[in-house]
Amino acid sequence: MIIKRNLKQSVVCNYALLLLIPLLFSCKGVNDISFTGVDDFEFRGIQNNKISFSASVGVSNPSSIGFKVSEVNLKTSIDGVYIGTLTSDNTVRVPARSDSAYKMDYTLNLANLITGASTLYNASRKKKVEVEMKGYVKARSWLTTKKVDVNEKQLIDVPSINR
């Protein structure tokens, strides 16, 4: 009787460990992702100090763990001038071992309407601009959520707004 109870407890413990191990490591690979570019920019509108747009963002996920992006919150500067905070509440699923583009809706909350608008106008007249983003992206894998810090600075091609 005691041996059966200990055997049952051991089996339950083994199953619990098998379930717990993936949970402990499920967001580990999220740090390995890289952004490969921005494409298909589509201007949606301006309301108050918020600019709405959508864009396809290329994401390379070499890890064996898939995840969902649940929140984006990035302080954004263009050519060294802080323009505001870029946010998105879209949920996008990024499969394991993938290299794809994902269309998301974004809102850029301008810190100062005049400075932000003039910086964006000046940037639109250039072919390339340096974009710096600092903040976080929340990623969810299995039952865990991880806030991944972002500190990116890249020279990007300026998308055309005219369509």
Asked whether residue 70 is domain-assigned, the answer is yes
- CB atoms < 10 A from the CB of 20, how many? 10
Number of residues in the chain: 163
Asked whether residue 56 is domain-assigned, the answer is yes
Q: Based on the structure, what is the number of domains in the chain?
A: 1
Taking the whole predicted model, whether its pTM rises above 0.75 is answered as no
Task: Report DSSP letters for 2-55, one per residue.
Answer: HHHHHHHHHHHHHHHHHHHHHHHHTTGGGGG-EEEEEEEEEEEEEETTEEEEEE
Asked whether residue 14 is domain-assigned, the answer is no
CA atoms within 13 A on the CB side of 12: 6
For every one of its 163 residues, what pLDDT tens digit does the chain have, with 9 covering 90 and above?
444 433 333 333 333 333 333 433 444 445 567 777 777 778 888 888 898 888 888 888 888 888 888 888 999 999 999 999 999 888 888 888 888 888 989 999 999 888 888 888 888 888 888 888 899 888 887 777 888 888 888 888 876 655 4
**What three-state secondary structure class fits 121?**
helix
Domain that holds residue 97: 29-157
Asked whether residue 151 is domain-assigned, the answer is yes
Asked whether residue 19 is domain-assigned, the answer is no
Pairing of β 128-141 and β 98-110: unpaired
* Rounded distance between C-alpha atoms, residue 17 and residue 8, angstroms: 14
Asked whether residue 20 is domain-assigned, the answer is no
Please report, for the domain that includes residue 34, its CATH number. Answer: 2.60.40.10
